[in-house]
Structure 1
């Protein structure tokens, strides 16, 4: 896969919401603490170059969820807050494609290259990347602009956020996406 500004790549920012700042709620520790900053840097490049941008927001149907629309955690983090006119897609499942018009918008714009950043690596980022790859898009998953949290195993053991992140990326790389860094993308768009 190769990509350039001429390919009109879309930046997909997944679930970079204030609720994910509550590390204790999600597992007690996380990796890539500057992932949102890296995503924000890419967002500024996309805005400057007038490339397509899609902000994805998880709107949990559980009223007690920190990501429910009635809770402040549902709001976008300031570092990636959408500007007027930028597309916002609301979802309530892990995939940004299910129950939304994201695929239709991408296809209507004749976009074939997607650059994916956001939270969390092993849930919504992974599910969206897998579906995007299966739909035939060229997917570039930005390893340092994604992050996740510790997970408790089925036997009660705790798996570190970094381990979860790395195994999720390994499962996606060269099958559903090309895993690259933000510096790699900055160098080509």
Structure 2
């Protein structure tokens, strides 16, 4: 596997206070926030670009409706002043946000994704990144999702939804690694 480049961007999707709302249901991967924090600390330490994505809902009553505490970033993952923040209104972080242009003007090609919800905002953003030609990696243990009921009424455990979403992304759009694998590749970038 290739090293994590010196200009690789860490893209943290929707790590907002609203994700802890009980209305979202049972989730998988209880250590996801710790792994996101490990990645964030490493990116800050090595002075790589960090992009925080924030969902601002258009649906009244959403936990991400503007002006509510749910829109705020989780305290441990709050952006620093110089870190880029992108606000989105749909799951895909590239749709009508200027994210692609921001990356292209800086010649950033390698993107490392983490955050929530695996099968929603993460997957839609990663699919766009892959289609746009970016070198995308998803950090599987720094993402999570929730139990989901399909159109037939069957309840799928969050673990299964997460695994299938990762498989979808790995098929054509991105590499899938865990946080330790990504962090181990940071040191390999020094010879680039």
Contact 1:55 1:82 in 2 (8 A): yes
> Alignment partner for residue 23 of structure 2, among 22, 25, 29?
25
Question: What 5-or-longer segments of structure 1 have no aligned partner?
Answer: none
Question: What 5-or-longer segments of structure 2 have no aligned partner?
Answer: 187-192
TM score, norm. by length of structure 2: 0.94
1:56 corresponds to 2:53? yes
Q: What secondary structure is seen at the aligned counterpart in 2 of 1:173?
A: helix
Contact 2:5 2:110 in 1 (8 A): no
User: 1-side partners of 2:4 and 2:118: how far apart?
Assistant: 24
1:140 corresponds to 2:137? yes
User: 2-side partners of 1:63 and 1:56: how far apart?
Assistant: 20
Matches within 5 A, 1:105-144: 105-144=102-141
Cα deviation 1:38-95 (Å, max 9, x = unaligned):
1111001101111011000000011211011221111111121101121110000010
1:103 corresponds to 2:97? no
- CA-based RMSD of the aligned residues comes to 1.0
Displaced runs of 4 or more, over 6 A: none
Contact 1:63 1:70 in 2 (8 A): no
Deviation at 1:4, TM superposition (A): 2.6
1:183 corresponds to 2:186? no
